[in-house]
Amino acid sequence: MIYLLLADGFEEVEALTPVDVLRRCGANVTTVGVDGISVTGARKIEVKADIELSGLNKSDMELLILPGGPGHRRLAEDDVRNIITYAAENGITIAAICAAPSVIGEMGLLEGKRATCFPGYENSLKGAVVSAAKVETDGNFITAKGAGAASEFAFAIAERVCGREKAESVKSAMQY
């Protein structure tokens, strides 16, 4: 199961583009409302999550996605950090975009990894080899700069989950 965490203030493009692309690829993606089913994004778009945080089953997690936006700080709180820690300790890919890489960076999870983030958050990527690239994939981490990189981020995740051929097929169908 791919879980995408939604906290109030999430960046809509960064969250919903990966959900859309991955579902087009046939991947099973579940959106998780960190503080309830109804979640409001940074642009005041209300989204109904598939499940609440209490319904997330860590043992079936295949990949964890953390969108940025002002809500990214909620992802650094203990209940969510426990999920992130579980993913990291079990070799589960963690994909984070915009300001969200700062959460995993502050946890020390990006030590020695190539990573990118929204400009201004680089100091939070503790021990990482900070890159100016739109998207970086290194080991079990996929990081991206921001909303403008949402499609590239989504396709990097799709390639990891569904393979290059399927990701390229969906890219082509979407006229990307």
pLDDT in tens, 6-48: 999 999 999 999 999 999 999 999 999 999 999 999 999 999 9
Q: Single out the catalytic residue among 25, 98, 117, 162.
A: 98
137 domain-assigned: yes
How confident is the model at residue 156, as a pLDDT? 98
Write the CATH number for 41: 3.40.50.880
* Per-residue tokens: 97: 């975009």
How confident is the model at residue 138, as a pLDDT? 98
35 domain-assigned: yes
Residues in CB range of 44: below 8 A, 6 or more apart? none
Q: Is 25 an annotated catalytic residue?
A: no
Structure confidence at residue 103 as a pLDDT band (50, 70, 90): very high
Structure confidence at residue 102 as a pLDDT band (50, 70, 90): very high
175 domain-assigned: no
How confident is the model at residue 30, as a pLDDT? 98
Residue 41: closest CA among 63, 74, 64, 79: 74
82 domain-assigned: yes
48 domain-assigned: yes
* Per-residue tokens: 156: 């990097």
How confident is the model at residue 123, as a pLDDT? 98
Range of the domain at 44: 2-170
Structure confidence at residue 113 as a pLDDT band (50, 70, 90): very high
How confident is the model at residue 5, as a pLDDT? 98
The number of folded domains in the chain is 1
39 domain-assigned: yes
pLDDT in tens, 126-175: 999 999 999 999 999 999 999 999 999 999 999 999 999 999 999 999 99
d(CA 47, CA 70): 16
Residue entry with tokens 């209300």? 46
36 domain-assigned: yes
**pTM score:** 0.98
CA 92, 98, 99, 105 torsion-angle sign: positive
